[in-house]
Structure formats: C-alpha cells, structure tokens
Chain A
C-alpha cells in the first residue's frame, strides 16, 4: 500500500447499532496515524493520534486500534447515535508532520 485507503467509503447504520471501519496505510517508516471526525460544513476535528503498535485509544463510545506491522487501524463506534453521523478520516504521518489523508468513511446513522 502506497497511500491511505479507507473502507467502506460510506456506511448506513441503525441508531443503537455498533459499527467499525478500516484504515490501511504503508507499514514502513511509520510515524503516527490520526483519526479525524469531519461534520459537514465544519472543520475536521481530531479524535485520536496513535503512535505505537498495539495502541488502543478510547473517547466515550468511540475507540480505535492500531497495527503498524500490517498497516491497519480500526475505528469502532458503540451504540451509534444520530450525532455520530460524519465523515471519519484517517491520516498517515509521512515525516516532517506531513499528513496524507484517506478519502474517509461517510457514516450516516438512521434514527
């Protein structure tokens, strides 16, 4: 993998259900991986910065895991709520604080 790939590109989830999506990135020369939450018409907002293999981060109902050896990270949302609807971006640090973004997973929570 040369760039950051996210899957799926879009996802519809029923309110109350849990969900997860994937970010794949180059496993060589790893510095850090970011997850951002981006609501329509707003700025991307940092969720997690992950640096170590095996890292697990949690913020409320949202958590993330990191596997730097195989080059992937998962974002989990437990008990989805309508306010979780947003695009979730992951970004790979490519040295000199240069972020390379994936295309994002657009999540829609259906009430």
Chain B
C-alpha cells in the first residue's frame, strides 16, 4: 500500500547516458513534484505538474525533461548525464489546495 513510489531506488550510470526515473502515487492526488537533494543536503524543487500540466519549472538544465502521462505518474528523463547530476531525486504529490506533500523514498543517482 505504498503511497508514493519511485523506481529505481538506485541508479548507477556513466556520463553521457540517458536515463529515466519513474514516480507513481496511489493517493488520488492531482499535483506531483520532482525535488533534487543537492550536495549540501537541501531539497530543491525542480518541476511540478498539476493534472498533467507543468506549473513549476525551476532553473533546471534542458537535459532534464519531466513527463506526466496521467495524474498518477510523473517521470523524469535525463539526457547526456553529467557528474554533477549525481544526487538523490525525490518525487512528491499533493492535492491542489492542500499544502501537505507526500514524498517518495528517493532515487539515488550516481554518474561515473
């Protein structure tokens, strides 16, 4: 009965590769988010989708492209991976109008 799930949990890949991280929520929420935990351990918002529509797009390289096939899924595709992309990426979801966000377990991406 996982609320927000992410796959994979760990991802090790080489520079220059293209990879995707998937997120799914079964809470009936209509808004989903991607966060990156940076080297200083801050959680920073990258993207947010509401009903499959992009509503927050922070200053993130074009190599990062979110895709929301439906309200329950938000995937993150990363092209031409760089060493600096190594981080933990968290997905979250919420109901529009509610401030409370529910987080997934995170995906640890390591680029070698």
Contact = CB atoms under 8 A, between A and B. Distances in A.
B48 A96 contact: yes
Contact of B42 (A36, A44, A103): A103
B89 interface: no
A51 B99 contact: yes
A32 B99 CA distance: 7
Contacts of A97: 31, 48, 56, 94, 96, 99, 101
Contacts, number: 52
A43 B90 CA distance: 8
A43 B35 CA distance: 12
B104 A98 contact: no
A8 to B, nearest CB: 15
B106 A98 contact: no
A47 B11 CA distance: 30
B64 interface: no
B42 A98 contact: no
B55 interface: yes
B85 to A, nearest CB: 20
Nearest to A42: B105
B43 to A, nearest CB: 4
A103 B94 CA distance: 22
Interface of A: 31-32, 34, 36, 42-46, 49, 51, 89, 91, 93, 96-104
Interface of B: 4, 31, 40-45, 48, 55-56, 90, 94, 96, 99-106
Task: Give me the 7 closest cross-chain CB pairs, A-B, nearest first.
Answer: A43-B103, A101-B43, A32-B99, A44-B103, A49-B99, A43-B105, A46-B100
Given A36-B103, A42-B105, A49-B100, 8 more contacts: A31-B99, A51-B99, A96-B48, A96-B56, A99-B101, A101-B42, A101-B43, A103-B41
